[in-house]
Amino acid sequence: MKALVFNGPRDIRYESYDDPKLTGHNGVILKVDKCSICGSDLHIYHGDQISKTHYGADVDKFCVGHEFIGEVMELGKEVHGFKVGDKVLAAGGTGCGRCKSCQIGRIAECANVTGFGLSKELNGGQAEFVQVPNADRTLMRIPDGVSDDHAILLTDAMATAYFGTTSADIRPGHSVAIVGLGPIGIIGVELAFLMGASQVFAIDPVENRRQKAEALGATTFAPGNEAFQTIIEKTDGKGPQSVFEASGAKPAVEAALSLVGPAGTASFIGLPQADVTLPLMSILYKNATIRAGVAPVTLMWQSLVPLLQQGRLKAEGLFSHTMDLSDGTEAYRLFDARDDNVVKIMLNVS
């Protein structure tokens, strides 16, 4: 098959790779229909670190990508919820399927959790075909009234935005700050208002991303002192009650921590690099609650799908570019360079 294959830092190539085979009885093989590139894929592209893996040139080749939808081609005999031909979306990662954490959908806490497209142990779905182990707990048939764009967003970005905003304890009437306006942060703005936020402040260095947040009702700022001072002023000198940090970049993490008001909550979902640390002193004296984690993606679907079906959550205009999988090398370059006002890129596979 053809796939986008990690060959080393800044070297993701569209090339041939072995077809996936079922390695257990609880998995399926999907024919991938569409996939997308995530901000966290750029950590791989940059040769940075995700969890314990450093993406240097010494890493064995693997297919990248954890955001994909497709059609079931083949299934193991222990898969009960799906049949050949089903159109499905997959959570961005999976676990063993048997432990207590997996059984309650909290896959991130499984001892054997793996994300798709992080190593050759679980090849990714920026490919013509992908194996999805533990299929019954990892896949969902694309529900009626859910578009392909939304289905792709449900694999990670929208689920992570929902997890991050609910983890920030947003309540009706709260003032909210969102730091980082990639797709997750932009969806976070919409969700914060759905949860009843009275005002949403949003910070990002890129103007067209701020414009998207403004169109949803947020008050936006480029990062810096002026943003900090204005937000503090507009929240009675205290700072927002809920802060959602949606990038993982060191300055964004620091901004989120400095903004959160007394007894407020700050939540973090961006994949941090090793040099990102938390200043316990300021957290303690603010009585702030800090939450960080990887979204239990499948658990978020039950809340998000009805919001999408009812048209209450729109998540519109996030796919600024649609390209073919064969243009993947250029797609990564463009996404990384933030050229051409890119927000998120959809790749058509078939």
**Which residues 33-62 are close enough to bind Zn ion by CB under 5 A?**
38
Taking the C-alpha atoms of residue 335 and residue 9, their distance in angstroms, rounded to an integer, is: 15
Whole-number Å distance between alpha carbons of 28 and 140: 12
Task: For residue 124, state whether it binds Zn ion (rule: CB under 5 A).
Answer: no
Of 255, 261, 295, the closest CA to residue 279 belongs to 255
Least Å distance, CB 37 to Zn ion, is 8
Residue 226 contacts by C-beta under 8 Å, 6 or more apart in sequence? none
Q: Is the Cβ of residue 197 or residue 300 nearer to Zn ion in the bound state?
A: 300
**Of residues 95, 125, 188, 296, which one binds Zn ion by CB under 5 A?**
95
Question: Taking the complex as a whole, how short is the minimal distance between the CB of residue 183 and Zn ion, in angstroms?
Answer: 9
Residue 166 to residue 249: CA distance in whole angstroms? 21
By CB under 5 A, tell whether 110 contacts Zn ion. yes
Q: Is 227 in the site for Zn ion (CB under 5 A)?
A: no
147 burial via Cβ count (<10 Å: 0-12, 13-18, 19+):
exposed
Give the nearest residue (CB) to Zn ion.
38
DSSP run (H or E) holding 332: helix 328-337
Helix and strand element counts for the chain (H, E): 11, 20
22 contacts Zn ion (rule: CB under 5 A)? no
State the nearest-atom distance from the C-beta of 103 to Zn ion, in Å: 8
The first and second tokens of residue 20, run together, are 């996936």
Number of residues that bind Zn ion (CB under 5 A): 7
| Shortest Å distance, C-beta 184 to Zn ion | 8
Taking CB under 5 A as the rule, does residue 99 contact Zn ion? Answer: yes
Only segment of 108-116, 161-169, 268-276, 336-344 that touches Zn ion (CB under 5 A): 108-116
In the complex, minimum distance from the CB of residue 174 to Zn ion, in angstroms, rounded to a whole number:
27
CA distance 112 to 181: 31
Which of the residues 147 through 166 are near Zn ion (CB under 5 A)? 156
Tokens (6 digits) for 313? 């959550």
Least distance from C-beta 305 to Zn ion, angstroms?
18
Tell me: does residue 190 bind Zn ion (CB under 5 A): no
Residue at 30: amino acid letter: L
Q: Which residues of this protein are in contact with Zn ion, per CB under 5 A?
A: 38, 95-96, 99, 102, 110, 156
